[in-house]
Structure 1
Amino acid sequence: MEQRHLGRTGLRVSRLGLGTLTWGRDTDEHDAAQQLKAFWDAGGTLVDTADVYGGGEAEYLLGRLVADKALVPRRDLVISTKAGSVPDPDRRTDGSRGHLLAALDASLARLGTDYVDLWQLHAFDPCTPLEESLQALDIAVSTGRARYVGVSDFCGWQLAKAGTWQLSGERTRLAGTQMEYSLLQRGVEREVLPAALDLGIGLLPSSPLGRGVLTGKYRYGTPADSRGGSETLAPFVEPYLDDTASRIVDAVSTAADGLATTPLQVALAWVRDRPGVTAPIIGARNAQQLTAALSVESLSLPDEICRALDDVSAPVHRYPDHDWSTL
């Protein structure tokens, strides 16, 4: 698999990443092992997790699989994890330096490793000064617990502020930022992506298949074994089952028919090759789904297909709401 630099750093990662959101919850150890082996066999290196995935079980499971050297050697993987999200209905994030560093140590223990290759703030904490949260990133690098650092789910001004702050003094520059991005969710193009491009921060798109909708599986109903058919995850999928999304999915399916490939491959290739994107993060329920996604490696969309998909999925930006050229 092709390797790309993450942002303006020396860290090289596979241009597709493996997500572990469901590991330890919907994906058991057997299925996780099959996924990791298939990903590694395809040349994949970037594995994305977080301290809250599965209540910590995702990290623990990944650590067990990596510890088994017969499966995948630790040195062959770029392990990325996150800290800052907390299971507290009154406070969804905790970006305090103390919490973040304690969470990192706990992640390292579950992963069974002395360091992670990429450590990210999972979300912006409005209750903690941003400089304090960012200081935790610097400490993690200076103490060898993290090789590179980044952020996740920061909006445009938050990313611009954090990225600029980290470029001053002896601080560690941000390597990457993670944010939802697909043909069904192009909001990052308004401010997040321009900020990332300007600051040399690589984008790691999450939900690149529009929460599974872009595969076309929901065109004629909701499969019982899908996320949309799950009581827990149905609200996650539902926003992308409207008429606008349906038109985009139809266009993706038409393009797939013309290229003799699948809607999954078309949608994934589109986001993978967007300017500023380093590696979309793929979340699969089993190795079969993952293998289908990994087969996109040989696909490059023709320019006319990209333009057609750009047009049909173009977001409506109503801000700024003034046409300054007429003033």
Structure 2
Amino acid sequence: MQQRPLGRSGLAVSRLALGTMTWGRDTDADDAAAQLKSYLEVGGNLVDTADVYGDGDAESVIGSLLDALVPRDELLIATKAGLRPGTGRRRDGSRGHLLRTLDASLRRLGTDHVDLWQIHGYDPDTPLEETLAAMDHAVASGRVRYVGVSNFSGWQTARAATWQAAFPGRAPVVAAQTEYSLLERGIEREVLPACTELGLGVLPWSPLGRGVLTGKYRHGRPADSRAASAHLERFVATYLEPRCSSIVEAVATAAGGLGVSPAEVALAWVRDRPGVVAPILGARTVGQLLGALQVEQMTLPVEIAAALDDVSAVPVGYPERDG
């Protein structure tokens, strides 16, 4: 698998990342092992997780697979901190919370460091300088190699990156993880330009539009799908509406003409967008992952990419578009 630099850093990552949001919950340890093995066999090296995935179980599963399937120094591990689901404070970027949860993540992962540590969301109740200072401390202590942000708006991303770049010795922000697909192109207004200008690599989550771009919902809701799952139904429902359906049909038409799957078309489109480093593949089963990994063998024709751009374009006006 081809590799790309992560932003303006020396870290080279495979251009497809492996997501683990369902590990330890919908994906058991055996299926997770099969996914990781399949991913490694095609040259992948970046596994993305978070302290809240499966209430920590996703990190524990990854930790159980280290050394058994891959030496620690041959795998890049990215994790996130800063969310507190189910509490009155949904986001917590305080120094104490971040460093405490980082230590817990390292214990579950069975390692002394993570390669990329990301703040999972902007916390309006904590000064950003405090959050960023926690990132500096994590890097200085050796527990973290590189840092990034996730789900930040354009101005939040720019503020974090410029603050870190303003003084020598601060840990530079090298990555921004954000939702990006043919069904969700909102980052093109401000987040993506900020990342391009400031040298952050973009790691898109849900590059398949929460599974909708696979085409599985064109004629209903399969019983084993996320849309039929009690804890993920609302997550998918956002994209089961007429505008999205027209985009899905365009993707299916393109896939039919190329003799590939709709998932491959959708992934190729986002993988090759300017600024994107590695879309994160969040498969529930190894079969789904193997299907998605087929995209490594294809390049989307320019004409088809342009047609998909047109059918999925988001409105952009003042002040993002000048004149």
> Which TM bucket (shorter chain)?
over 0.9
C-alpha distance in 2 between matches for 1:19 and 1:324 = 37
Aligned partner of 1:172 in structure 2 is: 171
C-alpha distance in 2 between matches for 1:324 and 1:65 = 50
C-alpha distance in 2 between matches for 1:148 and 1:22 = 24
Q: What one-letter code is carried by the residue in structure 1 that aligns with 2:25?
A: R
Q: Quote how far apart the aligned CAs of 1:298 are.
A: 1.1
Q: Which of 78, 81, 84 matches 2:79?
A: 81
C-alpha distance in 2 between matches for 1:147 and 1:244 = 41
The 8 Å contact of residues 9 and 175 in structure 1, kept in 2 or not, is answered as yes
Aligned partner of 1:185 in structure 2 is: 184
Aligned partner of 1:237 in structure 2 is: 236
Q: What one-letter code is carried by the residue in structure 1 that aligns with 2:121?
A: A
Q: Which of 84, 87, 105 matches 2:103?
A: 105
The secondary structure found in structure 1 opposite 2:238 is helix
2:85 is the alignment partner of 1:55? no
C-alpha distance in 2 between matches for 1:87 and 1:306 = 38
Q: What one-letter code is carried by the residue in structure 2 that aligns with 1:196?
A: C
C-alpha distance in 1 between matches for 2:202 and 2:15 = 11
Q: Give the TM-score of the pair, scaled to structure 2.
A: 0.98
**Aligned residue pairs: how many?**
322
Q: Quote how far apart the aligned CAs of 1:324 are.
A: 7.4
Q: What one-letter code is carried by the residue in structure 1 that aligns with 2:118?
A: Q
The secondary structure found in structure 2 opposite 1:210 is coil
The 8 Å contact of residues 121 and 150 in structure 1, kept in 2 or not, is answered as yes
Aligned partner of 1:200 in structure 2 is: 199
Aligned partner of 2:143 in structure 1 is: 145
2:208 is the alignment partner of 1:209? yes
Deviations 1:6-35 (A, max 9, x none): 001000100000000011111100000000
C-alpha distance in 2 between matches for 1:324 and 1:83 = 37
What does 1:1-327 align with in structure 2 at a 5 Å threshold?
1-68=1-68, 71-169=69-167, 170-320=169-319, 325=323
The secondary structure found in structure 1 opposite 2:210 is helix
The secondary structure found in structure 1 opposite 2:260 is coil
C-alpha distance in 2 between matches for 1:315 and 1:213 = 18
C-alpha distance in 1 between matches for 2:218 and 2:319 = 34
C-alpha distance in 1 between matches for 2:208 and 2:322 = 36
Q: What one-letter code is carried by the residue in structure 2 that aligns with 1:292?
A: G
Deviations 1:170-195 (A, max 9, x none): 21111101000000000000000000
Deviating runs (4+, > 6 A) in structure 1?
none
Unmatched runs of 5 consecutive residues or more in structure 2: none
Q: Give the TM-score of the pair, scaled to structure 1.
A: 0.96
Q: What one-letter code is carried by the residue in structure 2 that aligns with 1:112?
A: G
The 8 Å contact of residues 67 and 112 in structure 1, kept in 2 or not, is answered as no
The 8 Å contact of residues 95 and 128 in structure 1, kept in 2 or not, is answered as yes
Q: 1:324 to 1:40 in 2, by over 3 A?
A: closer
Unmatched runs of 5 consecutive residues or more in structure 1: none
C-alpha distance in 1 between matches for 2:209 and 2:77 = 24
- Percent identical: 63
The 8 Å contact of residues 180 and 206 in structure 1, kept in 2 or not, is answered as yes
RMSD in angstroms over aligned alpha carbons? 1.2
The secondary structure found in structure 2 opposite 1:51 is coil
Q: Quote how far apart the aligned CAs of 1:320 are.
A: 3.8
Q: What one-letter code is carried by the residue in structure 1 that aligns with 2:16?
A: L
Deviations 1:79-122 (A, max 9, x none): 00011111243110110111111111111111000100000111
Deviations 1:36-85 (A, max 9, x none): 000001100010000111001000110010142xx122111110001111
Q: What one-letter code is carried by the residue in structure 1 that aligns with 2:220?
A: G
Deviates further, 185-194 or 168-177: 168-177
The secondary structure found in structure 1 opposite 2:173 is coil
Q: What one-letter code is carried by the residue in structure 2 that aligns with 1:219?
A: R
The secondary structure found in structure 2 opposite 1:40 is helix
C-alpha distance in 2 between matches for 1:30 and 1:194 = 40
